[in-house]
Amino acid sequence: MDETSRLNPGIPRPPAHAKYDFATGKPRPRKGNCIKCFCIAFVVALLLALGINAIVLLMAFKKAEAPEFHIKTVKVSKFSTISPLNNDRVVLSTDVTFDVECNNKNPIVGVDLGDMEMQATWGEMDAHLGESRVEDFAQKAKGKKEIKVSAKNEVEISKKDVKPEDMKLDLTLFGEIKYFAGPFKTKKYPFMVSCSGVSPTSVNVGCNTKLYASGEAPSKSKQKPTPSPSPPQSGPSGESPTTSPSLESFPPVKLTVQDKYVILDNGLLAVTIAKPAGFVTGIKYNGIDNILDTVNPEDDRGYWDVVWALPGTKGTKGTFVRIIGKDFRVITDKEDRIELSFKFGGYDPSKATKKDVPLEIDQRYIMRRGESGVYSYGIFERKNWAPFGMPNARLAFKLQRQQFKYLVIADNRQREMPVPEDRLKPRGQELEYPEAVLLVDPMDPQFKGEVDDKYQYSMESQDIRVHGFICKDPPTGFWQITPSYEFRSGGPNKQFLTSHVGPSVLAMFVSAHYSGEELVPKFEEGEPWSHVYGPIFMYMNNVSKGEDFKLLWDDAKKKMEAEVKSWPYDFVASEAFPKANERVNVSGRFFVHDKLVENEKAPAKGAYIGLGPPGEAGSWQRDCKTYQFWTRTDEEGYFNITHVRVGNYNLFGWVRGYIGDYKYDKPINITVGENIDLGELVFEPPRDGPTVWEIGVPDRLAREFFIPDPNPKYINKLYVNHPDKFRQYGLWERYTELYPDEDLVYTVNSSDYKKDWFFAQVTRKIGARYNGTTWQVKFNLDNVEQNGNYKLRIAIASATNSDLEVRFNEPKPAPALFTSGRIGNDNSIARHGIHGLYWLYNIDVKGNLLQKGNNTLFLTQTKGVSPFQGIMYDYIRLEGPQKSN
Ligand SMILES: *[C@@H]1O[C@H](CO)[C@@H](O)[C@H](O)[C@H]1NC(C)=O
Ligand SMILES: *[C@@H]1O[C@H](CO)[C@@H](O)[C@H](O)[C@H]1NC(C)=O
Ligand SMILES: *[C@@H]1O[C@H](CO)[C@@H](O)[C@H](O)[C@H]1NC(C)=O
Ligand SMILES: *[C@@H]1O[C@H](CO)[C@@H](O)[C@H](O)[C@H]1NC(C)=O
Ligand SMILES: *[C@@H]1O[C@H](CO)[C@@H](O)[C@H](O)[C@H]1NC(C)=O
Ligand SMILES: *[C@@H]1O[C@H](CO)[C@@H](O)[C@H](O)[C@H]1NC(C)=O
Ligand SMILES: *[C@@H]1O[C@H](CO)[C@@H](O)[C@H](O)[C@H]1NC(C)=O
């Protein structure tokens, strides 16, 4: 066992056949007179032996398991600057060593880690610190072996003083694993190990090891290493995963079809689904018999549902329907993945009654080998059938209520949660908005006196990527990962529910929350439609007892990033879900030019830009039947909208800091095979004259305005000292307390909108009734162009059953200069959103309505029925007449 001595670079590999000799152990034929006989017998025996041997080896190759391959330590033994020869240049000297351990688990098949190559980059400066090559490492026998790979380098840098906290390297080790036995060799499996942020002081860094399928090479340019203490990632996706050694170390996915259930099992978890209904009745994972709530009946644990509405239904009402599949089918049954279908449908227009939903829903579940979770998507389809509306569509999971108590939806939005029993009388007391409950006698006294309300955990679509619950014993996470929101209604800023007391983990696809009826998809008589919601991933993870349970969230975020990278998934069977090669990218550079105010166009930074169904500028907000593809521009205004489905679109955008909506003037028709570069696009936001005064920041939110402290009786502790103070319950009630006698008056130049502009123009409570309110903006004009055309811009971040009237200088009952008419049903005040739908009003103001000296703008919200009614302003601006006029 002196093999370690051969591990040093440069020493040739031992003869591979030393132990595996072909022609041994075969009985020699007895000596006889017949030489010819002997010769023939010998040749036959030899061929036989060779044949048997070859078969044995081939079998061994086939069964060969991937070696356990990992980094024991990574050491940066040198990281220093040396001998500055002149004042500008400094030489940085580094010495890095990887300690690699390889555990070959195969008896006959050897492994060879040939030609390893190391790259080291110094992140901040992107200084490439050189490479090191290690050749030939062969390991015939079963067992563990170690190898050191080191690299010393010197490189000139321009930075003079390198601080200790800067001494962090990103390291990548590339190589390939070859299997061999005798003279036979099989394919090469490339691998890549990446470690980020390795410093001279780091002891045990997390490195991410990735094995690739034969023939697939990791890209060596600009690898961004991600730290990850997790086991080998699921290898390459696609048609090749069965050939990947990393996958082979996991058992194949197994399907058991019983009379009333089917079970998917990949050795990591087992998922039981009712057949043919498609409810997930059980998930066994990490020693927990069922992750799903066994207090609930079987159809109330993991299920697709919709709310559907007969034509003519007002508002967002409808009938809740759990989707009960009628037809079960195995779509794919391979070792690396199984896909199942539970189809709801059978709508027959000739026999249908009003009670039949004119829609088919194919509920799909996919389990993949080596993936700790289950995927689901729904194919919704209707032909030229009866009309209907669908206010809500989602996939819901309800977890064991006594175990999954720690909710996480964001780094700064996570907490221990009460149990559903706490919300019921007499433990809970329903508040003014019925979804909000005051916990008067919760099972766990720590929650006593807090408010629980699912809407406090809402998020914008663009941010809903991973959320879920943690069980602390045994430490287990259940997460919903949504790699793309292309299929959700309403675009990037539409808000949806996430996870909440239940413990419920929702994947919302369609909802009217924070928007109202305008986002209820409605289908006309004979209107065909099809849409794929998902796939999304229900991911489960664990840490050992005693480890920090918050590591589960860190890992879930990493997993989410990996899922985002592999979007659009290539393992989805349905052709209704186009793969990457059936989609295209649209890129360009986005500028904004507020003409009359800014001399020249400037790159729009962090702007929203996306493709939605053809329509007016801003119409994407109200689209709920098609796909939308959005991204944000970078610092220079560049954007890439990736993986757009074939179809006809308009390109839309909006930019924080500017009012209005951008629309590219030409339609964008996507066909396969051609990426589109739109070049430079310039958004000229609405502007007719210089700013006389403005209130707020045009960002489609009311969060910059005054948000009061909540009533101490109605606290959610999560949002105390939190940037999202607006998520507290009951803030609308504070208006009448703050302005008991007179409505809000704001004086331009002396008031501060952060303190003096209440975040919502809510109603005033008078006894048991509510009245609309009139706010005043006082401003002084040194001179007025009586014949000039002034412009008032009112951008609204949310409106609920409101009617806005605008007057200058003469209050009601003088006739209003502008009336919005009844607008909005987004209910964002009650649901603690800081915005709903966006509205922009551009109001012409003749100079003769204004006067030299003091002026008053009256903003009257006339309607008064409920405490949740009102307007959230985004931004208000008065523009003077154009100078050239
Ligand atoms: C716990 O997670 C690890 C990966 O971190 C996985 O290998 C293991 O199978 C999981 N344990 C159980 C019991 O599922
Ligand atoms: C679109 O961009 C993504 C991400 O850069 C890339 O992976 C993909 O190949 C591109 N698609 C096409 C059709 O070029
Ligand atoms: C867009 O894609 C190009 C080419 O892949 C890349 O160089 C650029 O950084 C990307 N820009 C953004 C904003 O993602
Ligand atoms: C895009 O498609 C629409 C609808 O089919 C069509 O009217 C329009 O002419 C097409 N435009 C281009 C540029 O192909
Ligand atoms: C409330 O509204 C009603 C009806 O518009 C009106 O008659 C009444 O004077 C208002 N009350 C107050 C205190 O403004
Ligand atoms: C606000 O103050 C500025 C600078 O003092 C002044 O020029 C402007 O006229 C004032 N505007 C109003 C509306 O009072
Ligand atoms: C104009 O408004 C200012 C500030 O509100 C006030 O101090 C001043 O008295 C007013 N002037 C007149 C003539 O009303």
Instruction: Write the pLDDT tens digit of every residue in 563-589.
Output: 999 999 999 999 999 999 999 999 999
Q: Quick one: which ligand is closest to 742's CA? A: 5
Nearest CA to ligand 1 atom 12: 286
Nearest CA to ligand 6 atom 3: 749
**Same structural domain for residues 212 and 280?**
no
Q: What is the pLDDT of residue 442?
A: 98
Beta strands in 355-511 (DSSP E): 360-368, 373-382, 388-398, 404-410, 413-416, 428-430, 437-439, 451-452, 459-460, 466-472, 475-481, 495-496, 499-500, 504-510
Band of pLDDT at residue 88, cut at 50, 70 and 90: low
Tell me the CA–centroid distance for residue 774 and ligand 5, in Å.
Answer: 12
Q: What is the pLDDT of residue 102?
A: 81
Nearest CA to ligand 5 atom 2: 771
Q: Which of 7-16, 217-226, 864-873 holds the top average pLDDT?
A: 864-873
Q: Quick one: which ligand is closest to 582's CA? A: 2
* Mean local confidence (pLDDT), 486-508: 98
Nearest CA to ligand 6 atom 5: 749
Element (H, E) at 492: none
Q: Say what percent of the chain tops pLDDT 90.
A: 71
11-15, 147-151, 475-479, range with the lowest pLDDT: 11-15
Cβ–ligand 6 contact at 778 (below 6 Å): no
- Where residue 48 falls (left for φ over 0; alpha for ψ -120 to 50; beta otherwise) is alpha
**Same structural domain for residues 212 and 279?**
no
Does residue 12 form part of some domain? no
| Atom of ligand 6 at shortest range from CA of 779 | 13
Tell me the CA–centroid distance for residue 609 and ligand 2, in Å.
Answer: 17
* Mean local confidence (pLDDT), 753-778: 97
Tell me the CA–centroid distance for residue 839 and ligand 4, in Å.
Answer: 29
Question: Rounded to an integer, what distance in angstroms lies between the CA atom of residue 487 and that of residue 442?
Answer: 38
Does residue 765 form part of some domain? yes
Band of pLDDT at residue 596, cut at 50, 70 and 90: very high
| Atom of ligand 2 at shortest range from CA of 585 | 1
Number of domains in the chain: 5
Q: Quick one: which ligand is closest to 287's CA? A: 1
Band of pLDDT at residue 83, cut at 50, 70 and 90: low
**Same structural domain for residues 387 and 535?**
yes
The residues pairing with 150 across neighbouring beta strands, listed in sequence order, are 97
Q: What is the pLDDT of residue 370?
A: 96
Tell me the CA–centroid distance for residue 780 and ligand 6, in Å.
Answer: 7
Tell me the CA–centroid distance for residue 858 and ligand 6, in Å.
Answer: 19
Q: What is the pLDDT of residue 25?
A: 39
Q: Quick one: which ligand is closest to 694's CA? A: 6
**Same structural domain for residues 77 and 59?**
no
Domain ends where: 535, 565, 595? 565
Report phi then psi at 57, rounded to 5. -65, -40
**Same structural domain for residues 629 and 697?**
no
Q: What is the pLDDT of residue 89?
A: 62
Please give the angle made by the CA atoms of 368, 239 and 536, to the nearest 5 degrees: 40
Cβ–ligand 4 contact at 648 (below 6 Å): yes
Question: Rounded to an integer, what distance in angstroms lies between the CA atom of residue 470 and that of residue 473?
Answer: 9
Nearest CA to ligand 7 atom 4: 747
Band of pLDDT at residue 324, cut at 50, 70 and 90: very high
Q: Where are the alpha helices (DSSP H) in 677-825?
A: 734-738, 753-756
Cβ–ligand 3 contact at 590 (below 6 Å): no
- Structure-token match 């007449």, residue found: 881
Q: What is the pLDDT of residue 212?
A: 73
3-class secondary structure, 298: helix
Tell me the CA–centroid distance for residue 268 and ligand 1, in Å.
Answer: 7
| Atom of ligand 5 at shortest range from CA of 864 | 2
**Same structural domain for residues 365 and 283?**
yes
3-class secondary structure, 52: helix
* Mean local confidence (pLDDT), 458-485: 98
Tell me the CA–centroid distance for residue 542 and ligand 1, in Å.
Answer: 6
Tell me the CA–centroid distance for residue 668 and ligand 4, in Å.
Answer: 8
Question: Rounded to an integer, what distance in angstroms lies between the CA atom of residue 668 and that of residue 664?
Answer: 9
| Atom of ligand 3 at shortest range from CA of 633 | 13
| Atom of ligand 1 at shortest range from CA of 287 | 13
Does residue 9 form part of some domain? no
Question: Rounded to an integer, what distance in angstroms lies between the CA atom of residue 177 and that of residue 145?
Answer: 14
Q: What is the pLDDT of residue 195?
A: 81
Nearest CA to ligand 3 atom 13: 639
Q: Quick one: which ligand is closest to 230's CA? A: 1
Cβ–ligand 3 contact at 638 (below 6 Å): yes
Band of pLDDT at residue 175, cut at 50, 70 and 90: confident
> Strands 676-683 and 584-592, how do they pair?
parallel
**Same structural domain for residues 102 and 173?**
yes
**Same structural domain for residues 56 and 73?**
no
Does residue 808 form part of some domain? yes
* Mean local confidence (pLDDT), 109-118: 76
Neighbouring residues of 50: CB distance < 8 A, sequence distance ≥ 6 = 22, 23
Band of pLDDT at residue 57, cut at 50, 70 and 90: confident
| Atom of ligand 5 at shortest range from CA of 766 | 13
At position 130, the amino acid (one-letter code) is G
**Same structural domain for residues 597 and 482?**
no
Tell me the CA–centroid distance for residue 622 and ligand 4, in Å.
Answer: 22
Cβ–ligand 4 contact at 667 (below 6 Å): yes
Mutate to test the pocket of ligand 3, among 638, 642, 677 (most ligand atoms within 8 A of CB): 638
Average pLDDT, the chain: 88
3-class secondary structure, 629: strand
Band of pLDDT at residue 246, cut at 50, 70 and 90: confident
Cβ–ligand 1 contact at 542 (below 6 Å): yes
Domain ends where: 192, 218, 244? 218
Question: Rounded to an integer, what distance in angstroms lies between the CA atom of residue 264 and that of residue 272?
Answer: 7
* 641, pLDDT greater than 90: yes
**Tell me, what CATH number does 390's domain have?**
2.70.98.10
**Same structural domain for residues 350 and 488?**
yes
Question: Rounded to an integer, what distance in angstroms lies between the CA atom of residue 711 and that of residue 689?
Answer: 43
Mutate to test the pocket of ligand 7, among 748, 777, 781, 854 (most ligand atoms within 8 A of CB): 854
Ligand 5 site residues (CB inside 6 A) read: 766, 771
Neighbouring residues of 609: CB distance < 8 A, sequence distance ≥ 6 = 588, 590, 630, 631, 632, 633, 639, 641, 651, 652, 653, 662
Q: What is the pLDDT of residue 131?
A: 67
Minimal CA–CA distance to 334: which of 235, 210, 246, 239? 239
Does residue 234 form part of some domain? no
Tell me the CA–centroid distance for residue 614 and ligand 4, in Å.
Answer: 10
Nearest CA to ligand 3 atom 2: 640
Q: What is the pLDDT of residue 160?
A: 65
Q: Quick one: which ligand is closest to 650's CA? A: 4
Does residue 555 form part of some domain? yes
Question: Rounded to an integer, what distance in angstroms lies between the CA atom of residue 56 and that of residue 851?
Answer: 99
Cβ–ligand 3 contact at 320 (below 6 Å): no
Q: What is the pLDDT of residue 42?
A: 81
**Same structural domain for residues 748 and 714?**
yes
The parent domain of residue 808 ranges over 691-879
Cβ–ligand 1 contact at 270 (below 6 Å): no
Mutate to test the pocket of ligand 1, among 372, 553, 555, 558 (most ligand atoms within 8 A of CB): 372
Mutate to test the pocket of ligand 6, among 692, 748, 749, 845 (most ligand atoms within 8 A of CB): 749
At position 496, the amino acid (one-letter code) is F
Q: What is the pLDDT of residue 435?
A: 95
Instruction: Report the 10 Å Cβ neighbour count for 289.
Output: 11
Say if CB 99 and CB 148 are below 8 A apart: yes
Instruction: Report the 10 Å Cβ neighbour count for 790.
Output: 22
**Tell me, what CATH number does 200's domain have?**
2.60.40
Q: What is the pLDDT of residue 24?
A: 39
Cβ–ligand 6 contact at 749 (below 6 Å): yes
Does residue 647 form part of some domain? yes
Nearest CA to ligand 2 atom 12: 584
Does residue 48 form part of some domain? yes
Report phi then psi at 371, rounded to 5. -105, 125
Mutate to test the pocket of ligand 2, among 585, 586, 644 (most ligand atoms within 8 A of CB): 585
Question: Rounded to an integer, what distance in angstroms lies between the CA atom of residue 451 and that of residue 444?
Answer: 14
Q: How distant, in Å, are the alpha carbons of 221, 397, 641, 679 from that of 638?
A: 22, 39, 10, 9
Nearest CA to ligand 2 atom 9: 580
* 801, pLDDT greater than 80: yes
Cβ–ligand 3 contact at 639 (below 6 Å): yes
Say if CB 278 and CB 304 are below 8 A apart: yes
Band of pLDDT at residue 81, cut at 50, 70 and 90: confident
Domain ends where: 683, 713, 747? 683
4-18, 19-33, 651-665, 865-879, range with the lowest pLDDT: 4-18
**Same structural domain for residues 470 and 556?**
yes
Nearest CA to ligand 5 atom 13: 766
